[in-house]
C-alpha cells in the first residue's frame, strides 16, 4: 500500500483525504494529515480517529517521513516551498494546482524534484476527461490539418461575493497570487497547452473586481500567437451566470467544437489550402463530414489522478500529469498578468524576475486598502503558523 500524507485540509485536501481513507484509490491509504488550523485538525480527528497521524507543523511531518507521498493542498504560494522541502527529505510529491504563483519559484521546485530522484505529479484532473483526451489525440494525428485558430470561452466558474469573503487569503495578490487565472483556470490553461502547445506571445486584458468587490481579476481575455501564425483567444470570468464552456479549434482540414460533453467534428475531404486556389469567389458545396461524439460528464478526475500516481509508484505506469509540466499553464497566466500590468504584448519566455517585481507591486496595493483590506487578517497567521515569509 502506498501511504499518503496530506498537508492542507481545506476544501480539496479534505476531499482527497476522504477518498483515500474510504479506499477509493486501489493500493493507496491515508496515513497522516497536517494543517495549521487546529479547528480543522480537530474536525478531522472526529472523522478518522486514531487510524491516522496528525500534525500542525508540516516541517515536523516531513522530517518524520510518515508516508510515501506528500499531497500538497495548501494556499498557492506554499506549493513550491513545501514541495522543495519534501523532495530534500526523500518524499514523492503530488501537488494541487497551480504549481505555484510565479515561474521562478516553480523552476526551483522542478530542479529540487529532479535532484531528489523522487516522483512528482500535479492534480490536473481534467486531463483524464475522455473528451479532452480524444481532442488532443485528434490534433496530434493531424485530423484537423495545421491548426489556424482556437477560441475558448470558459465562463462557468461563477462565484459569489460570499465565496471571496470566505477566507482571508482569497482574492488578494498577497494571499492567492491572482484571481480567476490562478485559481479557477489552471486546469483550462493546462489543457490549452497540453492539446495545442505553448504560444510564443500573449496579449491580455485582466480586469480587477469587474463583477465582485475584490482586488484581483475576475474577468480576463487572452490573445495568443503561435510560430506558424495561428492565434488563440481565451475568455474567462467568475461573474457570468449561466456560464459557458466551449472550445472551437480550426485547422486546414476542418474544425472541432467541444461543449456540454459533446465533441462535434467537421472534417474537410481536402486541405483548405486547395480551396484558396478555386477560381470562384465563394465555396458552398465543399464536402464536409460531420461527426458528433457524446462523452458525457466525468466527475472522477481527482480519483483518477490519485490512482494514476499510485499505479505509477507501484507498477511504473506513465503519469497522466507529471509535476514538471505545471510550469506551462503558469507561464501563460504569468504572461497574461505581465501583459495587463505593462499594457503590452509579452513574448514567451519572459523575464521571470520582472514578473516577481511587478507581482510585488500588486501585493503592496493589497496593503493600501480598497476591496481587499478586510481580507488580509489571516496573512500573519499563514506567515507564522505555516512558517513562510513572503
Residues 6+ apart with CB under 8 A from 177: 76, 77, 101, 102, 359
| Per-residue CA distances from 158 to 80, 162, 215, 240 (Å) | 28, 12, 17, 6
Taking residue 1's Cβ as centre, other Cβ atoms within 10 Å add up to: 12
Q: Where are the beta strands (DSSP E) in 295-349?
A: 346-347
Cα gap 384→386, rounded to integer Å? 6
C-beta separation of 130 from 238 below 8 A: no
Banded model confidence at residue 369, pLDDT cuts 50, 70, 90: very low
Banded model confidence at residue 367, pLDDT cuts 50, 70, 90: low
Averaged pLDDT of the chain: 92
Residue-level pLDDT at 368? 52
Q: Where are the beta strands (DSSP E) in 58-143?
A: 69-72, 92-95, 120-122
pLDDT, one tens digit per residue, over 114-130 is 999 999 999 999 999 99
| Per-residue CA distances from 350 to 107, 199, 332 (Å) | 14, 12, 10
Residue-level pLDDT at 166? 86
pLDDT, one tens digit per residue, over 135-176 is 999 999 999 999 999 999 999 999 999 999 987 778 999 999
CA within 13 Å, CB half, 116: 20
pLDDT, one tens digit per residue, over 273-323 is 777 777 777 777 789 999 999 998 888 999 999 999 999 999 999 999 999
Nearest alpha carbon to residue 18 among 2, 36, 39, 33: 33
Residue-level pLDDT at 168? 79
> In the predicted model, what is the mean pLDDT of residues 364-383?
44
Banded model confidence at residue 386, pLDDT cuts 50, 70, 90: very low
Residue-level pLDDT at 170? 85
> In the predicted model, what is the mean pLDDT of residues 355-379?
65
pLDDT, one tens digit per residue, over 37-63 is 999 999 999 999 999 999 999 999 999
251: cell is 485547422
Is the confidence at residue 247, as pLDDT, over 90? yes
Does the pTM exceed 0.85? Answer: yes
| Spatial strand order in the sheet of 28-34 | 53-55, 28-34, 2-7, 69-72, 92-95, 120-122
Whose cell is 488580509? That residue is 376
Residue-level pLDDT at 382? 38
Tell which wins on pLDDT, 344 or 299.
344
Tell which wins on pLDDT, 260 or 373.
260
Question: Is 294 in a helix, a strand, or coil?
Answer: strand
Residue-level pLDDT at 80? 98
- Say which DSSP state 123 is in: -
Amino acid at each position: 500500500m502506498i501511504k499518503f500524507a496530506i498537508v492542507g485540509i481545506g476544501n480539496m485536501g479534505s476531499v482527497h483525504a476522504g477518498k483515500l481513507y474510504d479506499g477509493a484509490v486501489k493500493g493507496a491509504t491515508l496515513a497522516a494529515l497536517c494543517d495549521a488550523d487546529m479547528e480543522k485538525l480537530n474536525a478531522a480527528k472526529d472523522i478518522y480517529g486514531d487510524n491516522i497521524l496528525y500534525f500542525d507543523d508540516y516541517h515536523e511531518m516531513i522530517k518524520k517521513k510518515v508516508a510515501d507521498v506528500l499531497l500538497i493542498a495548501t494556499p498557492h504560494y506554499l506549493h513550491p516551498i513545501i514541495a522543495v522541502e519534501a523532495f530534500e527529505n526523500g518524499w514523492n510529491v503530488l501537488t494541487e494546482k497551480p504549481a505555484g504563483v510565479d515561474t521562478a519559484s516553480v523552476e526551483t521546485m522542478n530542479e529540487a524534484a529532479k535532484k531528489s530522484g523522487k516522483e512528482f505529479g500535479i492534480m490536473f484532473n481534467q486531463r483524464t476527461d475522455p473528451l479532452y483526451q480524444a481532442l488532443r489525440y485528434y490534433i496530434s494525428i493531424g485530423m484537423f490539418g495545421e491548426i489556424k485558430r482556437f477560441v475558448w470561452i470558459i465562463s462557468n466558474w461563477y462565484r459569489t461575493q460570499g465565496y471571496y469573503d470566505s477566507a482571508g487569503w482569497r482574492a488578494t495578490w498577497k494571499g492567492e497570487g491572482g484571481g480567476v487565472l490562478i485559481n479557477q483556470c489552471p486546469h483550462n490553461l493546462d489543457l490549452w497547452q497540453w492539446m495545442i502547445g505553448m504560444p510564443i506571445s500573449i496579449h491580455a486584458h485582466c480586469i480587477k473586481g469587474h463583477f465582485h468587490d475584490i482586488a484581483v481579476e475576475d474577468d480576463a481575455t487572452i490573445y495568443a500567437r503561435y510560430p506558424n501564425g495561428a492565434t488563440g483567444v481565451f475568455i474567462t470570468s467568475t461573474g457570468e451566470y449561466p456560464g459557458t464552456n466551449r472550445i472551437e479549434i480550426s485547422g486546414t482540414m476542418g474544425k472541432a467544437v467541444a461543449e456540454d460533453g459533446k465533441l462535434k467534428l467537421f472534417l474537410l475531404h481536402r486541405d483548405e489550402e486547395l480551396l484558396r486556389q478555386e477560381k470562384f469567389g465563394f465555396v458552398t458545396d465543399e464536402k464536409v463530414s460531420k461527426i458528433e461524439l457524446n462523452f458525457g460528464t466525468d466527475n472522477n478526475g481527482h480519483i483518477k489522478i490519485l490512482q494514476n500516481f499510485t499505479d505509477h509508484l507501484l507498477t511504473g505506469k506513465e503519469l497522466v500529469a507529471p509535476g514538471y509540466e505545471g510550469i506551462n499553464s503558469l507561464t501563460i497566466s504569468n504572461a497574461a498578468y505581465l501583459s495587463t500590468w505593462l499594457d503590452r504584448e509579452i513574448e514567451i519566455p519572459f523575464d521571470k524576475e520582472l514578473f516577481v517585481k511587478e507581482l510585488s507591486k500588486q501585493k503592496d496595493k493589497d496593503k493600501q486598502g480598497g476591496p481587499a483590506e478586510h481580507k488580509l487578517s489571516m496573512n500573519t497567521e499563514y506567515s507564522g503558523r505555516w512558517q513562510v515569509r513572503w
